[in-house]
Amino acid sequence: MADHLAESAKGGAYEETVNKVAAGMHKQYSGNMVSNPKLVTRAISKAVNA
Checking if the pLDDT of 32 tops 90, the result is no
pTM exceeds 0.75: no
Q: Percent of the chain, pLDDT > 90?
A: 58
- Pair 4, 17: CB distance under 8 Å: no
In single-letter form, the type of residue at position 1 comes to: M
Mean confidence (pLDDT) of the chain:
89
* pLDDT surpasses 80 at 34: no
- Quick one: average pLDDT of 6-11? 91
Domain boundaries, the chain: 2-49
